[in-house]
């Protein structure tokens, strides 16, 4: 393992080295590719890698630096995207063999923005089939291996490969999408930072949809500052996505280091904690002590809206209805090609009436208005990102019943935030006795990403977890 390239550092650290001239985009990209070569045969984070394209982009970024041009903090930084995002000339398979011949004719809005920021795209990461699952299992393309255990543990989904790629130090950032937790679940289970953005703040154009009501785009990163840097580049109006028509760019960088003194943070005493793993509960509660020690006012509040959100999401009714609408023709013609669990969940959407759908979405709107009132005196809510840590793939995938049970457990705390329209941040806050990561969920009001990033940054700087990385020596003997 002595010749294994070291894990890539944070974007902010790498950017400083590039500005100082001690690191070049080409050298960094080659380091990432070398680490990918050494690890991904075991970890299976990536679906597609385009070395020539990545090195060409790195060379272009290097020329800009040599010319002395003023560049931003993302310039020359390699990254990866979940295989839902269109990249011109590459297939977008959405985790399914059904789409392996679907070649994108233009870039998604967010990959185009990152290209303009000078980022270097290495490739696409594996995902759950059609992004419909929180466990991270994929029977078509294989399930990425959670890097914290030699035994094959689930990585969380559906942005499974993105979580693994960042946690293993192959890239400092990978994009994911979050409909019911698909950024925050793999972030929690793999020990990275994961930002769920407010719907309407980041364009979804060119991203294979699951639910137009709930889909959002967000980064998985090695630090909170990195998440803020990427979000700053992603946000804004895009004519291709009508949900962004009122998006107002928000400054998430100026106040990032302002700390938490005087902020009112609250443990949401509701279903978030029901039947949660004892080690998860302990780690998240201790996070409150850290924040209180930094000067925040940390208390507990009743938050009945969380339970109401779950009650207003029977069987994932809205996602099922919208997913069926998106997949109707393909489902009817190729149902047997769908993963049995995913296909059966989607096909249920066929039976949902217009009255059920409209009554549910209208009830969501009313509940979201109440939440705005309930949170008027609270700067953020605190809760476990996932109620349980990662589990062995063999245990989770042993039967349909075990899969469904774990899927519901992973999605429970995250899906609440999607239904309520909140933004959310998962930050590592501890480890189980087995060495599995635990995530702290910081929920903020819609469009208040600046606040949750500020809180997450303060916590991260005060905690020891930000410097801990998985020991991957076992891969050398695999």
Is 234 inside a domain boundary? Answer: yes
Q: Which residues pair with 78 in a beta bridge?
A: 120
Over the stretch 1-59, which tens digit does the pLDDT of each residue have? 446 788 999 999 999 999 999 999 999 999 999 999 999 999 999 999 999 999 999 99
The number of C-alpha atoms within 13 Å of 452 and in the hemisphere containing its C-beta is 29
Q: What is the DSSP letter of 326?
A: H
Three-class SS state of 208: coil
pTM of this prediction?
0.98
User: What contacts 250, CB < 8 A, 6 or more positions away?
Assistant: 201, 235, 447, 449, 450
* Distance in angstroms (rounded) separating the CA atoms of residues 374 and 201: 22
Distances (CA, A) of 22 to 16, 66, 217, 309, 329: 9, 12, 33, 50, 53
Is 337 inside a domain boundary? Answer: yes
24, 82, 96, 223: which is the annotated catalytic residue? 82
Tell me how crowded residue 208 is: count the other CB atoms within 10 A of its CB: 25
Comparing C-alpha atoms, which of 185, 305, 201, 263 is closest to residue 456?
A: 263
The answer to whether the beta carbons of residues 449 and 201 sit under 8 Å apart is yes
Instruction: Indicate the Cα dihedral angle 146, 390, 278, 197, nearest 10°.
Output: 90
Q: Which residues pair with 268 in a beta bridge?
A: 301
96, 108, 158, 243: which is the annotated catalytic residue? 158
Active site residue 82: yes
* Distance in angstroms (rounded) separating the CA atoms of residues 175 and 75: 16
The answer to whether the beta carbons of residues 53 and 107 sit under 8 Å apart is no
The pLDDT, as a whole number, for residue 4 is 78
Is 185 inside a domain boundary? Answer: yes
- Work out the end-to-end distance of the chain between its first and last CA atoms, rounded to an integer number of angstroms: 11
Is 48 inside a domain boundary? Answer: no
Is 1 inside a domain boundary? Answer: no
Three-class SS state of 327: helix
Is 277 inside a domain boundary? Answer: yes
Three-class SS state of 235: strand
* Distance in angstroms (rounded) separating the CA atoms of residues 380 and 363: 23
User: What contacts 282, CB < 8 A, 6 or more positions away?
Assistant: 430
Over the stretch 427-443, which tens digit does the pLDDT of each residue have? 999 999 999 999 999 99
Residue 421 sits in a domain whose CATH number is 3.90.1300.10
Is 467 inside a domain boundary? Answer: yes
Cα-only R_g, the chain: 21
Number of domains in the chain: 1
Q: Estimate the crossing angle of helix 354-374 against helix 400-420, to 10 degrees.
A: 60
Burial 60-78 (b: 16+ CB within 10 A, else e): ebbeebeeeeebebbbbbb
The pLDDT, as a whole number, for residue 3 is 67
Give the domain extent around 230.
132-154+173-477
The pLDDT, as a whole number, for residue 1 is 44
Chain centroid to Cα 142, Å, comes to 19
108, 159, 160, 182: which is the annotated catalytic residue? 182
Active site residue 243: no
Active site residue 96: no
Is 51 inside a domain boundary? Answer: no
* Distance in angstroms (rounded) separating the CA atoms of residues 447 and 193: 18
Q: Are strands 120-125 and 264-269 parallel, antiparallel or unpaired?
A: unpaired
The pLDDT, as a whole number, for residue 84 is 98
As averages over each run of 10 residues, the pLDDT of the chain (478 residues) reads 78 96 97 97 98 98 92 96 98 97 97 98 98 98 98 98 98 98 98 98 98 98 98 97 94 98 97 98 98 98 97 94 97 96 95 97 98 96 98 98 98 98 98 98 98 98 90 79
* Distance in angstroms (rounded) separating the CA atoms of residues 271 and 307: 6
The pLDDT, as a whole number, for residue 71 is 87
Comparing C-alpha atoms, which of 384, 358, 228, 396 is closest to residue 306?
A: 384
The answer to whether the beta carbons of residues 265 and 297 sit under 8 Å apart is yes
The pLDDT, as a whole number, for residue 5 is 80
Q: What is the DSSP letter of 144?
A: P
Helices (H), strands (E): how many in the chain?
A: 15, 11
């Amino acid at each position: 393992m002595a010749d294994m390239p070291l894990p890539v550092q944070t974007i902010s650290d790498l950017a400083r080295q590039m500005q100082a001239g001690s690191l070049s985009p080409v050298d960094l990209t080659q380091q990432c590719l070398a680490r990918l070569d050494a690890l991904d045969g075991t970890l299976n984070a990536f679906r597609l890698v385009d070395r020539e394209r990545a090195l060409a982009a790195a060379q272009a970024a290097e020329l800009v630096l040599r010319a002395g041009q003023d560049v931003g903090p993302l310039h020359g930084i390699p990254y990866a995207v979940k295989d839902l995002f269109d990249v011109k000339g590459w297939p977008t398979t959405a985790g399914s063999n059904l789409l392996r011949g679907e070649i994108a004719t233009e870039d998604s809005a967010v990959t185009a923005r990152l290209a303009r920021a000078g980022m270097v795209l290495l490739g696409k990461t594996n995902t759950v089939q059609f992004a419909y699952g929180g466990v991270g299992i994929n029977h078509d393309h294989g399930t990425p291996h959670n890097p914290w255990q030699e035994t094959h543990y689930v990585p969380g989904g559906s942005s499974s490969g993105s979580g693994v790629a960042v946690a293993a130090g192959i890239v400092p950032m990978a994009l994911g999408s979050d409909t019911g937790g698909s950024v925050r679940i793999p972030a929690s289970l793999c020990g990275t930072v994961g930002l769920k953005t407010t719907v309407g703040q980041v364009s979804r154009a060119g991203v294979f949809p699951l639910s137009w009501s709930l889909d959002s785009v967000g980064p998985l990163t090695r630090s909170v500052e990195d998440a803020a840097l990427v979000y700053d580049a992603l946000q804004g109006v895009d004519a291709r996505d009508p949900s962004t028509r009122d998006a107002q760019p928000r400054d998430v960088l100026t106040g990032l280091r302002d700390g938490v003194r005087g902020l009112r943070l609250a443990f949401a005493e509701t279903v978030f904690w029901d039947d949660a793993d004892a080690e998860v509960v302990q780690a998240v509660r201790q996070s409150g002590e850290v924040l209180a020690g930094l000067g925040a006012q940390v208390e507990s509040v009743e938050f009945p809206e969380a339970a109401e959100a779950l009650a207003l999401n029977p069987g994932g009714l809205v996602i099922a209805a919208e997913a069926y609408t998106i997949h109707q023709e393909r489902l009817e013609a190729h149902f047997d090609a769908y993963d049995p669990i995913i296909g059966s969940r989607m096909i249920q959407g066929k039976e949902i009436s217009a009255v059920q759908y409209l009554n549910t979405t209208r009830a969501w709107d009313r509940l979201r208005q109440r939440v705005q009132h309930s949170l008027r005196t609270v700067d953020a809510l605190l809760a476990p990102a996932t109620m349980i840590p990662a589990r062995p793939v063999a245990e989770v995938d042993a039967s349909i019943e075990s899969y469904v049970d774990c899927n519901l457990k992973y999605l429970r705390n995250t899906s609440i935030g999607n239904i309520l329209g909140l933004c959310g941040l998962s930050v590592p806050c501890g480890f189980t006795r087995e060495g599995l990561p635990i995530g702290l969920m910081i929920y903020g009001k819609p469009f208040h990403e600046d606040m949750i990033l500020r809180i997450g940054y303060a916590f991260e700087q005060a905690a020891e977890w930000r410097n801990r990385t998985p020991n991957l020596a076992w891969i050398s003997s695999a």
